Chains A and B, each alone.
Chain A
Amino acid sequence: MKYQSQKVALYYIYGALTLFAAQIVFGVVAGTVYVFPNFLSEVLPFNVIRMIHTNALIVWLLMGYFGAAYYLLPEECETEIHSPKLAIIQFWLFMAAALAAVVCYILGIHEGREFLEQPLPIKVAIVVVALIFLYNSTLTLLKGRKTAISNVLIVGLWFVALLFLFAFYNPANLSLDKMYWWYVIHLWVEGVWELIMASILAFLMIKMTGVDREVIEKWLYVMVSLSLFTGILGTGHHYLWIGTPGYWQWIGNVFSTLEIVPFFAMVVFCFYMVWKGGREHPNKAALLWALGCSVMAFFGAGVWGFMHTISSINYYSHGTQITAAHGHLAFYGAYVMLNLAIFTYALPYLRGRAPYNQQLNMWGFWITTSAMAFMTFTLTFAGIVQVHLQRVLGMAYMEVQDQIALFYWMRLGAGVVVLIGVTLIIWSLVVVPRARPATGAVRQTGK
């Protein structure tokens, strides 16, 4: 760690890991309700459990991006963060807003659009958090060296904030409501979040492979171009059955099929850079997470997305367990693993240690990733059976659910294994072994 102000990233990483744990616990609870439907039904209904599961995910991922930005901006810009104090205030405001949201949900206070359930004052607090961040990071960027990585990252985060403003627009006409709702949801996860993902992966590749910056940054621009050129009009695959015009079927089919290309480019990029660099970086766990991220994002977002994106298939699969399967692996592969890659890389530097708990961390990687893959398979099979019985044969929804109960048992099993894997990961990141403080750790920064 070269710059003192990078330390503020620690707040964000620990905060993110806390909410990560909450997200997984509520996920397991939700999975339990699927097999024991009366479980907690009087105390904590399923809709509240799910709200906490999805919201905790979104908030901890965002918190991770802020942390990643505060960690990498000083190194990229070669200057201290404009105001570390402001960054810490921003963190506590964000964390307080997140915890307040959880309490509100449990008390039944919330708005009612999926993922945007935060009560209005909390939405306003999120905007304030974003404004503090944009002010702080943009001034840091302006006073220092401007690299492609920092530019793309900050452009991505600016658009995250701008697009969130559509969360305040809730038209009375349901079709309009849905159309603009996707401005936040789709243009985040299949648009500007990919900018954040590509720039953080590029940063990690520069640091860990030692490949020339010129080469990596050129790749970065190509990857983010592919992301947005396909992703913006790829929104069409959500405009199929909500009252929007029929031409979106064609646009959605063409552009969302191409959405797999940027994810494939990221796989090629990561593996090619590691091969080309040919360097042995001591933090093997971080490299594993970075490579794993590109691969699992390709399968979860790319392949599983493509599987049901063509309108003639989506006509049958829309809103079934197939969507749930895709959602789980896409978020895990692309954004959870991305955050864990940068956390695993940055924490040893932030704590002035040589990479620690590598074995444990990598066990966490393989256990969690395998369990997420298994969960995705079970939900996919559940979805295929559901599509056939419900959408083709016309059997009633609840009868179909009884037919696929076995898959929900297997999903719960996978969820419990994920919980174990995540416990190992968090433990390996947070609990530093007592052993000798490494003298070389501080000097490793940079390369």
Chain B
Amino acid sequence: MSERLTKSAARNIFYGGTIFFLVIFLGLTLQSHNYIVTTSTNEDELTASVVAGKHIWERNACINCHTLLGEGAYFAPELGNVWVRYGGKEDPEGARDSLKAWMQSQPSGIEGRRQMPQFNLSDQELDELVDFLKWTSEINTQGWPPNEAG
């Protein structure tokens, strides 16, 4: 490496540059935080039921089989748009009933098919979980996923 770059100069570049990029990153995150709260998500529709649904999602570690907005395990279908896939936009009641019925009927026990456990959720919990999935499907995700298959 060039003789002109001394070790102390390299050290100063490291610390100075890191602070520089960190400040930019924090600034952009702050702006993004604001954008999420005001623009890309329905903060005003973040009801107690949606929040409860998110906790049910977490308590059962759904993320370790499914993906949600593309993040999670890759063992089971994407659920960020499951509300749309089940036709929730056209027929909200029908989609809700189908989703609840699906979860209640697990595990399928079919040989050679991936098994979703039975989580024994109450009717209210199922509703809350569906509310959370509906809310999630309404986040402005820059058009992702490319199609309904998720």
Contact = CB atoms under 8 A, between A and B. Distances in A.
Given A228-B18, A249-B142, A390-B149, A50 B64 contact: yes
A394 B64 contact: no
Interface residues of B, number: 73
Nearest to B68: A174
A46 B141 CA distance: 28
A172 B17 CA distance: 34
Contact of B64 (A37, A48, A177): A48
Interface stretch (B91-99, B105-113, B122-130): B105-113
B32 to A, nearest CB: 5
Contact of A179 (B7, B33, B73, B145): B33
A232 to B, nearest CB: 4
Contact of A318 (B61, B144, B147): B144
Interface residues of A, number: 72
A395 interface: yes
Q: Which of B29, B36, B63 has the most CB of A within 10 A?
A: B36
Interface in A37-57: 37-38, 41-42, 45-48, 50-51
Contacts of A38: 111-113, 115
Contacts, number: 206
Interface of B: 1, 5-7, 10-11, 13-14, 17-18, 21-22, 24-25, 28-29, 31-33, 35-37, 40-41, 43, 46, 50-51, 54-55, 57-65, 67-78, 107, 111-115, 117, 132, 135-136, 139-150
23 contacts: A37-B113, A45-B115, A46-B64, A47-B117, A112-B55, A114-B64, A148-B11, A172-B46, A177-B54, A179-B33, A218-B7, A218-B10, A219-B1, A221-B13, A225-B14, A225-B18, A229-B21, A243-B40, A243-B41, A318-B145, A321-B74, A390-B150, A401-B114
A214 B31 contact: no
A361 interface: no
Interface in A132-180: 148, 170, 172-179
A113 B58 contact: yes
A248 interface: yes
Contacts of A117: 61, 64
